[in-house]
Each structure stands twice: as C-alpha cells, then as structure tokens.
Amino acid sequence: MNAGPQSEPDRDAERGVRRLALVLRPDRDLRHPLETISAWSAAVGVELFGADQEPRLPHGIARRPEASLADGCDAVLALGGDGTMLEALRVAAPHRVPALGVNLGTLGYLTEIDAAHFEAALSALARGEYTIETRAGLALAPGNGIEAQIAYNDFVLTRVPGRGQAALALHIDGELLVRYASDGVITATPQGSTAYAFAAGGPLVSPRAQGMIVMPDAPHGLFNRAVVLAEGERLGIEVLPRSAPVSLERDGRLLGHAEAGAALEILAHPDAARVVRVHPGGFAKRARRKLGITDPAGLADFDLAGHER
C-alpha cells in the first residue's frame, strides 16, 4: 500500500470557508447545533446550503437537490455520526469538496470533532485554519444487476441468514488466491479498516494509506488471514456453484443479492474523497482516543526502555 503524504493546505486557506453545505443525521433533534451554525454563519458571512427536502433546516438556509448540494461549496459539514459522515462523503466527493464530521452520536470514528469543540471548529473553518487529507475508496464494477458503486468504508459480501454458507473464490488480477466457505468476505478501505473489518480481526490501517484490505468473515478452513492489496490490483470475487445466495452491502447499506455463479470485481480508487482536519495529532493519537486503546497496567507508567514517565 502507498502511504505517502496525503495532506494539503486548503485551496482558500487565506479566506477560509465561505460556502458550506450541511448533511444532517436522520431522525435526530438538531435544533441547537443548527441554531449555532446559523448564528455563526450570519456573524462571519458564510453562506449555508441544505437538502431541499430537509424540514429541520432553519429559515435563511438555501435549499438544493442532494446531487448538487456541495456544488461550488468550500466544505460539507456532517452533523451526526459515522453514517452521516459517509453520507457527507457521497455528497461531497463528486464535486471534489472536503467533508468535516461532527460527532453527535456514540463512537464517531470517522468524525473529526465532538460537540464540545464544535464552535471552535466553526471558527477554524472561517479563518482557514485547517488542512485537507485525501481518502481512498473502493470501486465496484457494474454487473449482476448492480450499477457501478464507490464505497468509502467497505463492500461486504455476506451469506443470507438461513440459506447456508457462502462459498467464495478470491482472485487477484485474475489469479486464484483461495477458495473457502464462510459467512462472507469484507473488502475495506484504509479508512474503513476500523469498522467491520477490524471487528472481524483485520489490521488497523492508517486512513491516509492507499489500497484495499480483504478480510474473510468466519471462514471454514486454514486460510483466515487478511490480505492487503496495493493500488491498481484488482480483486475478483466468484460466488461458487455450491454457494448459498449472498447479499452485497456498501458502507452498511444493502445493494442487492448475488446467486451462485456471479462474479464481482473491486478496485482500489485512490483520492476518492477528501476530509477536513482541524485538530492536531495524527493516526496514532486518534486511534488511541477513538478506539479506547490502553496500555497494560505494567507498562502504563513506563516507556519500553524501562524509564518511569
């Protein structure tokens, strides 16, 4: 995987954000954060845009269709959790606009800031005090009645409950790697390595990396390891003749089903999306904080050379 520098200064850092699109978590009372955003935007001269079918938006926010919501904007602000952030990436990415996530849920691993730092983050946006990092995606080729898709976390192929095991063959650039019976297979972006793939025992990967993580889900057989593919390598997934039907999900949403004999192709999509960073600190700091990583009691107060901290 290529993990070279993926940060860049904002293109309008001197003037900061002046046009901001909003993506809201469904079925959540967001009156207080929306009032805060409205007051801030009026004070600093930022124009706000929201989806035209969103009834919770305060008066004065311009309405647009979702497909063009981010068009011409400097950033997209997601108010919610990881699901809302993924939706913001889908809205922002086609327009090459970065997204910033505000965690109003529980874990919010993909979100950059929490409610306590919300107003400070808005001020940073207005002043241009932020950077942009690129994120890889996964591109699913069209086929099996499913259109071409981009995932920002993962594609998951999983057995249908009550229908038996999934029997799959994995190919890399057309060459067979392995066949196995399992609950399915998880293909994750580096950003998505902390989601389903991590829960299944996969590696923790820097979100700045480029490539693809392939993780078998509860396989029956000797091969139970994650495989990491480089940018440009193609993963082929064949649903074998003896397989039960499988479902295909993109970022947690059902896309459809595949029967025995179906074949899918997935390719890492570099620079698929962009995210806003307003906090200092890198991957390790965020992983410790968001995933609750702690040291063993015997090492917590000492470094690895035995020096007391």
Q: Which positions are catalytic?
A: 82
Which residues make Cβ contacts (< 8 Å) with residue 156, sequence separation at least 6?
A: 184, 185, 186, 187, 196, 217, 248, 249
Going by C-alpha positions, the residue among 33, 4, 11 that lies closest to residue 271 is 4
Show the tokens assigned to 14: 């001197």
DSSP 134-177: EEEEEEEPPBTTB--EEESSEEEEEEPTTS--EEEEEEETTEEE
Rounded to 5 degrees, what are φ and ψ at 42?
A: -65, -35
Give the C-alpha separation, 102 to 114, whole Å: 6
The SS3 of residue 181 is strand
Helices (H), the chain: 31-44, 82-92, 118-127, 196-199, 283-291
* 135: exposed, middle or buried (Cβ count in 10 Å: 0-12, 13-18, 19+): buried
Cβ atoms within 10 Å, residue 101: 28
DSSP 217-255: ES-BSS----EEE-TTPEEEEEE-TTPPPEEEEETTEEE
Going by C-alpha positions, the residue among 176, 184, 166, 151 that lies closest to residue 267 is 151
Q: What is the helix (H) or strand (E) element at residue 94, kind and residue range?
A: none
